[in-house]
Structure 1
């Protein structure tokens, strides 16, 4: 049996403890493709899994990691061969299926995407689920009619993974970007990504009791949810859209139909987990070609042993940008 290193979360006396330990390949779940993982990334969902959130992971011990990029070790399907460089994001990876915080994963072939030529394995994990989600959000807004020059595009939770990549991508595509954050000290970071305006989170929290607010935004990417999301809805320009993909500020809000009726606005949802592989492939192609964006200002690389400390940071709301996890 081949041994490998992995982060394993276990329950001890009612607490969830993360340790890097040794696992056996034979202990991995069934699947057509065995992958040697080279890089992963840190997402809020990974931190929830590592802290015992039953909405993400029910059974422990468990290895989180909803993203993985690596090399096929063996495959029982003709579409994938040993040596192929591949990406796996979403589906059940890192939730109930042993995830990318191990040096090996074994998964169904239907989850596996060959690495697009325009991205290296490491670059793909700077993006990871966060980059895929940001791309899906921008694509959905553009399908709804958003184009550069219509006015500012708001990004909430702008220092987080999805938010920071969305700011950088929108700016690179020629949009005027307003970045909303509760971290006032990160204004220079956000301006360095291309934001032309910094919006304090408190500004977006004001007026939740009002049915309508002043028109401001030609579009928005919301990564936080809650009352902030509906305040964004109430602040959209006529005919504009907001796409929502996160819930760190809550899953509910107090709302009114007035913005939809009087301003003809749209509230759109994006899921990056269960998207068909063909949709994910099309987004990855765009991320590697016409939407390829310089993200060196927002990424940090860590080793597997550093993960527990970074998980604590993201749970405390202290993480900025993207964390790339090196498995070798």
Structure 2
């Protein structure tokens, strides 16, 4: 743990907020179209309808907001998944939650030609919930009950199944393929603020609830029996955390598609900084997740310029080595 005193942790939050703000501004400024900080300010203060001003207001600003919201949401979802399952590899991507949400959206596009953002949102929530409960159920079967290894295997199996079904649907439906191919790679490009407005109320509720369950999650980490003896309602707490995960992961997929590895990487980085107290981990994950996705999105603009790489590809490049490192350490931190 790098930051041991509460004053240091508060200072770290302020530094994190400043870095998030700088990353947000950089996301608005940098890209294929050359802009500057003064031009970006002018686009909001004295909008003149020029191409540069339109890009700043209608393209870069929504993109930066979506990256910050989705990055923070996926990081917090990964934190609660790891806390509930006691599995360092748990995340919405690895456990098939993102894949389940994506599958439901693709089914709606393929068979029902759905275009409503609100419908996308509810379908993503439904797919995320189905995948989460299916993984938990399969991982609990057997005499040993729920174990980190069984959860990981069940999650990987369901992620592969939903991904295969999704690809199968797209193979036989070229129209749906054109609509969702770039979205399925995980991208914040070409999104509008309307998408954020459709999902933000649900994500905001999940964020708000996340800052109130940290203390009880700390007690849960000591074991179910200890937590129960200290007055924690185990069943209610787990259901609450599961709903938070579904809202955060499902909402993120509805906006930006299945972006991977943020839910694995960021909780571990946050623990390195502030330890295992979830009251501190939740806000740190929110800030660090937003910073990571903003920086990844900026990098995605330059890799093969003038074309862009989907930001989901960039997070996979960043996260894969970290995932291998965590897997090699084993489930007990050895």
Structure with the higher strand share, 1 or 2? 1
**TM-score, scaled to structure 1:** 0.25
Structure with the higher helix share, 1 or 2? 2
Which structure's relative contact order is higher, taking Cα pairs within 8 Å and 6+ residues apart?
2
